[in-house]
Amino acid sequence: MSDEKNDYSAKDIKILEGLEGVRKRPAMYIGSTGKEGLHHMIYEVVDNSVDECLAGVCNYICVSINKDGSVTIEDNGRGMPVDIHPVYKKPAMEIIVTKLHAGGKFDNKAYAVSGGLHGVGISVVAALSKKMNVEVYKDGKIYSQNYKIGKPIDKVHVIGKCDKSKTGTKVSFFPDDKIFSTTEFDYNTLATRFKEICFLNAGLRIIFKDEKKGKKEDFHYAGGLREFIQWLNRTKSVLHKPIYFKRQQGKVIVELVIQYNDSYNENIHGFVNTINTIEGGTHVAGFKSALTRVINDYANKKGILKNEKLQGDDVREGLTAIISLRLPEPQFEGQTKTKLGNSEIKGIVDSLATTALSEYFEENPAVAKKIAQKSAAALKARKAAKKAKELVRRKSAFGSSGLPGKLADCSSRKKDKTELYIVEGQSAGGTAKGARDKEFQAILPLKGKILNVEKSNPAKALSSEEIANLITAIGTGVGDNFDISKLRYNKIIIMADADVDGQHIKTLLLTLFYRYVPQLIEEGHIFVAVAPLYKIRKGTKDYYAYTEEERKKLIDKLGKVEVSRFKGLGEMNDSQLWNTTMNPKTRILKQVSVEDAVEADETFSVLMGDAVAPRRKFIDENAKEAVLDL
């Protein structure tokens, strides 16, 4: 090693003062610097207001996306304290906003239960905002302070008077466009989250306004979780009324509602202090364990099963469940709070849910019998599907045996560098095979549109030749056989035509991935290739436009030109497809992710399910966003 590399001393140690560390590594605190992290900024502030609701001192929150791009969140809680801190000798409000790990949620006095536990939420938002203002309504006065990238630019001062009965906090911030790749908020994503919050906190009202789009919604649900599950299942045929209970052990409060429908999918949504734990955790594990045990016991006792045992997948087929916890000291995995880690919670939830469900089954034998019979039918279907699943298992991680004959595999064995392009049709498949880099790009052409798995049971879906070929090529298997270590390609890329048929094929494939191998989406392995709409030739040079707006800009820039419209990938020659869609240096790939499981499940159910009325409503509401392809 060189002397330069060996020279590591005190001068190499950099201390990031104040909130500099947040700006240096923002993804550590908000998950990403893309749209997900941008939305998380709002969630952090709203969660603080929800904590006031959990403390019983707030029942109103207003969220506004303003025309100038800023966001304002106002509540009628107690208002941040503004008196002088005994140690720091500054107003508490300033300390809360500008210092990490400063807040009232560490001693369980000001907040017995809260979602914002780490004391970093509001300060992270301040650090990642180019401008921010906080107003506090307290004791008949309005206190205010302004900040720039987390630093106060004036002192806490009184800007006016208010009614003495008025209390609360108002936060306005401009996300820093130097940090975020986009500062455009998605209305539907935010609306879904606020709807969830109000379902989980019966009686809380959230007014959500988007001044840019002229939209406004008022969320308020007196029925709480019962209304929540009815809303989730509104596009499905349900087997019974919601089963609801609320139990407490020590300081842990467990609220649970379940309802079965006639679909083949399971939908379990876990929340802790109203935080959506999209990766589950010990509370969800405890509930699953209890449900499997109780249904097995009942089915055996009533003779519905004959020397057989139901597995978890059997009892959760067609299940929608919401489990909401309130506990003083949740241990989340990471600042973004996507998974609960408290080991003691599994046993608590298991015990409470077992008792409550057993009592319900004894008191409601007709419903219990329906559920047990559905689970028994699922067991039979699982056995039928087992052979189909065996067909799509890989014999070895990288061997050629058992692979689909029409798969044009790549030569590299370095999985982290490899890509699988899924292409519809022999014509596009032939072009893709000619265009690809054989070293790291594999091509799997599909014959026509794959089966809509939303309307098919697992045995039928996995017996489909095209689906079996696809799962075999990917290598992970599905269900109990799923093993991420056997994934053969780091990137799985859907490459479809840029027309209506192509979009339908893309949706069918995404439905398959979401329902059968959701782990691939969660781990960031699924992508969609963006194909160009137009080729624009100026002299001997070609340009490509991926949107109508790009086409107009190029024509304005280049003057009179020759424009050709790509209807399908098969129309391109090898070099065109490589340059526009497959070359890592020039292509555009969209990574598929699930920001909100509730919203994702609803969208797939509406678009791909049996119910026609909700799909017609969806089309009516979103038709104005569509672009007519002439």
Q: Which of 424, 454, 596, 601 is catalytic?
A: 424
Beta pairing class for 60-65 and 205-210: parallel
pLDDT over 70 at 182, yes or no = yes
Instruction: Say whether 279 is catalytic.
Output: no
- The pLDDT of 444-451, averaged and rounded, is 88
Q: Let me know if 109 is exposed, middle or buried by CB neighbors in 10 A (0-12, 13-18, 19+).
A: exposed
Q: Which of 317, 409, 466, 497 is catalytic?
A: 497
What's the pLDDT tens digit per position in 55-67? 889 999 999 999 9
Is the model's pTM score more than 0.85? Answer: no
| Averaged pLDDT of the chain | 86
Q: Which helix (H) or strand (E) holds 321?
A: strand 319-326
Residue ranges per domain, the chain? 20-220, 225-389, 395-531+585-594, 534-565
What's the pLDDT tens digit per position in 142-169? 999 999 999 999 999 999 999 999 999 9
**Tokens matching residue 123:** 């300060």
Contact in structure between 97 and 78 (CB atoms under 8 Å)? no
Q: How confident is the model at residue 394 (pLDDT cuts 50, 70, 90)?
A: very low
**Tokens matching residue 264:** 């083949």
CATH number for the segment(s) 225-389: 3.30.230.10
Fold of 395-531+585-594: Rossmann fold (3.40.50)
Instruction: Say whether 139 is catalytic.
Output: no
Other Cβ atoms less than 10 A from the Cβ of 68: the count is 9
In degrees and rounded to multiples of 5, residue 67 shows phi and psi of -60, -30
- The pLDDT of 536-556, averaged and rounded, is 88
Q: How confident is the model at residue 200 (pLDDT cuts 50, 70, 90)?
A: very high
Question: Long-range contacts for 355-359 (Cβ within 8 Å, ≥24 apart)?
Answer: 355/247, 356/245, 356/247, 356/256, 357/243, 357/290, 357/291, 357/294, 358/294, 358/297, 358/298
Q: CATH second-level architecture of 20-220?
A: 2-Layer Sandwich (3.30)
pLDDT of res. 493: 97
Q: Which of 501, 522, 542, 595 is catalytic?
A: 501
Whole-number Cα distances in Å, 538 to 243, 526, 535, 542, 553: 66, 35, 10, 6, 14
Instruction: Say whether 3 is catalytic.
Output: no
Whole-number Cα distances in Å, 372 to 297, 363, 385, 503: 10, 15, 20, 39
Q: Which of 20, 499, 542, 599 is catalytic?
A: 499
Instruction: Say whether 424 is catalytic.
Output: yes
